[in-house]
Amino acid sequence: MLVTLLIAFAVGLSLTVWNRKLPVLIPKSVAVLPFENLSDDQNNAYFADGIQEEILTRLAKISDLKVISHTSTQRYQGKPRNLSEIAKQLGVANIVEGSVQKAADQVRVNVQLINAQTDSHLWADTYDRKLTDMFAVESEIAKRIAESLQAKLSGREEQALAVKPTNNPEAYDAYLRGLAFEGRNYVSSSFFSDDPVRTAAGFYERAVQLDPNFVIAWARLSRADTVLYFNRFTDASLAARGDAAKHALEQAQKLEPDLPETLLALGYYQFLVLREYGFARTTFSRVSKMLPGSSEVLRALALCARRSGYWDESIAYFEQALTLDPRNVELLIPTAETYTMLRQFPAALKLFDRVLDITPTDRGAVAAKAGIYQAQGNLQDASRLLSGIDEQNPNQGTFYIKVVQLRLERNYSEAIRLLQTRIAQFHFDSQENKGYDQAALAFLQSLAGDKAGAKITAAQARSTLEPLYRDQPDNALAAVPLSLAYAAMGEKDSALKLAERAIMLMPRAKDQVDGPSLEENLAFIQTIFGENSGAISTLTRLLQTPYGGWVESFAVTPALLRLDPIWDPLRSDPTFQKLCEEKIDKSTAVQKAATQ
């Protein structure tokens, strides 16, 4: 299963992250906690969230401050607050708290800056203003916080704080609603939901309709459409979002091409729509100089470097971002995934433990740990972690790790029962996921000796997946599930042809995360049809290649080759037997050479 859905070199940074000294507390560091909504109308909660986000965004533009991201601070919403403990967890010296009360066009904002170590109030104020004055209030609050912490502001930073992006209060209101919904898209470590992003895009569209000169709303609209386009293989209707993202980006560029928000939108468009990772890295590097305290930009740089196969650089960016923002699960998870791709499993496990310390009920993080245990050949611990995963689990990746576990245990009857129940009862948000489950079921039926049942299920998978591929014939990720359906049908030529086409559409030279995963899919299909030498040659190369994984939960390992029955047709080959006992060189220098 393909694992992953959405950083300046750090000289001398080791790839081992766990023997580090505790970070030195920076006096000019601050976290803006979620603002309390005191409005009579609880539907105004979005407004309090938006005010917090806007103040945080302004503070993040001050290079002399360390500012914790919105993602990290949102974990403390609605919870009793021990400011000293929160500051310790986030690695900051100071905390900003506030409340917002909105009635019609009147707004009251209370805000206070507290030194968490001494519990002393460094500054506090109350603002009673009209909605049209909110930008000025946000700018003043950011400036007063910076002054209280004795942060130095450059002339450019002073100017950036004073910017008023729109004079239209309705446009501003729609923009804040968009921000609130966009922040809800990352539900857990392995569950991304399109629905909040679609809603956010709708509000951003409303904002720019009301004020066509609202540049940051154009930039946010482009980013939302970009994310939706990237996830189009689960919904063909999202393909049009690429053009929409380009249009919104062009409008932002016409208004203010050098604004950090515009450049961020450009970087994401280059990364997720054009898949031009080199250009995206150049753009994000430029933004990094403008926003040196932004963990988001470092994360984007890390993801671009990873796709390009610059694994050392990717890890360095991720680690740099985590130094700035240690409790941001949107950083911890892709960092853990990157260590998993590199097969540096102890580091990955510790990062997933940090995720679970922050979000203890995150089934995706639990399943990811189980996938790592599978890759290490530790089926007992993997099974223990997966005991609570059933056919109704909302995330396809999490569910698939459970299916792989049962396959590795050769417990075909339970795997078949689980998949049959899911296909019959689960409400799929994507036909692609349903078709993939049908193909997986067909293979398990075949392994269990039910050839007739396998043929029927495979035909159902083909009927589900062929229309999706017809809608997106140049989408490699739409081709792969259909190639598996053809293989399950016994249609050798169609299966091999489509698997090879997927690799042509997304070769490893173009994408170092997904490209090798498509090669793993080809090796599986070659194994099914007795093309053992080709399969073994591919597997030999993949063992020394960092990548995401497709047929297995993660990248293939000697333990997985030993345990997984899908590779049984290769077991009599001496070369394959050696692969099963091979020791993987986990140095990125060796692995980088294997990706060339």
Give residue-wise pLDDT tens across range 17-71: 333 444 556 889 999 999 999 988 888 888 988 899 899 989 988 999 999 988 8
Q: Which amino acid is at 79?
A: K
Measured CA angle at 287 (ends 348, 257), to 5 deg:
140
Q: What is the pLDDT of residues 423-462, one digit of tens each?
A: 999 988 788 889 999 999 999 999 999 999 999 999 999 9
Q: Which alpha helices (H) appear in 21-124, and where do they start and end?
A: 45-60, 70-73, 83-90
Query: How far is residue 273 from each of residues 200, 269, 297, 390, 407, measured CA to CA in Å?
Result: 19, 5, 17, 34, 35
Residue with tokens 């021990």: 82
pLDDT at residue 185, rounded to an integer: 57
Residue with tokens 């992953």: 4
Q: Which amino acid is at 578?
A: K
Q: Which amino acid is at 165?
A: P
Domain ranges of the chain: 428-505, 532-596
Report the alpha-carbon distance of residue 176 to residue 36 in Å, rounded.
Answer: 15
Nearest to residue 170, comparing CAs of 199, 134, 136?
134
Report the alpha-carbon distance of residue 454 to residue 469 in Å, rounded.
Answer: 22
Residues 118/91, Cβ–Cβ less than 8 Å: no
Q: Which alpha helices (H) appear in 163-276, and where do they start and end?
A: 169-182, 194-210, 215-230, 241-255, 260-268
- What is the token pair recorded at 85? 């403990």
How many Cα atoms occupy the beta-carbon half-sphere of 81 within 13 Å?
A: 21
| Statement: the pTM of the whole predicted model exceeds 0.85 | yes
pLDDT at residue 354, rounded to an integer: 96
- What is the token pair recorded at 241? 């979002």
pLDDT at residue 16, rounded to an integer: 35
Q: What is the pLDDT of residues 318-344, one digit of tens each?
A: 999 998 889 999 999 999 999 999 999
Report the alpha-carbon distance of residue 236 to residue 229 in Å, rounded.
Answer: 9
Nearest to residue 340, comparing CAs of 365, 318, 372?
372
pLDDT at residue 76, rounded to an integer: 87
Report the alpha-carbon distance of residue 202 to residue 228 in Å, rounded.
Answer: 12
Nearest to residue 17, comparing CAs of 304, 293, 318, 297?
318
Residues 389/368, Cβ–Cβ less than 8 Å: no
Report the alpha-carbon distance of residue 524 to residue 484 in Å, rounded.
Answer: 9
pLDDT at residue 585, rounded to an integer: 58
Report the alpha-carbon distance of residue 337 to residue 547 in Å, rounded.
Answer: 10
Report the alpha-carbon distance of residue 481 to residue 459 in Å, rounded.
Answer: 13
Residues 256/283, Cβ–Cβ less than 8 Å: no
- What is the token pair recorded at 54? 């806007």
Residues 220/204, Cβ–Cβ less than 8 Å: yes
DSSP 115: E
Report the alpha-carbon distance of residue 488 to residue 455 in Å, rounded.
Answer: 7
Q: Which residues of the chain have pLDDT under 70?
A: 1-25, 79-80, 184-193, 233-236, 584-596
Report the alpha-carbon distance of residue 5 to residue 514 in Å, rounded.
Answer: 11
Q: With the CA atoms of 355, 65, 169 and 248 taken in that order, what torsion angle do they form, in degrees rounded to the nearest 10? A: -70
Residues 271/304, Cβ–Cβ less than 8 Å: yes
Going 216 to 217 to 218 to 223, the CA torsion angle's sign is positive
Residues 173/350, Cβ–Cβ less than 8 Å: no
Beta strands at 94-103 and 29-32: parallel, antiparallel or unpaired: parallel
Beta strands at 106-115 and 120-130: parallel, antiparallel or unpaired: antiparallel
Q: Does domain 428-505 have CATH number 1.10.8?
A: no
Report the alpha-carbon distance of residue 195 to residue 35 in Å, rounded.
Answer: 25
Q: What is the pLDDT of residues 83-129, one digit of tens each?
A: 999 999 999 999 999 999 998 889 999 999 999 988 899 999 999 99
Residues 414/406, Cβ–Cβ less than 8 Å: yes
Nearest to residue 569, comparing CAs of 508, 528, 541, 534?
528
How many Cα atoms occupy the beta-carbon half-sphere of 472 within 13 Å?
A: 25
Work out the widest C-alpha separation in the chain, in whole angstroms.
79
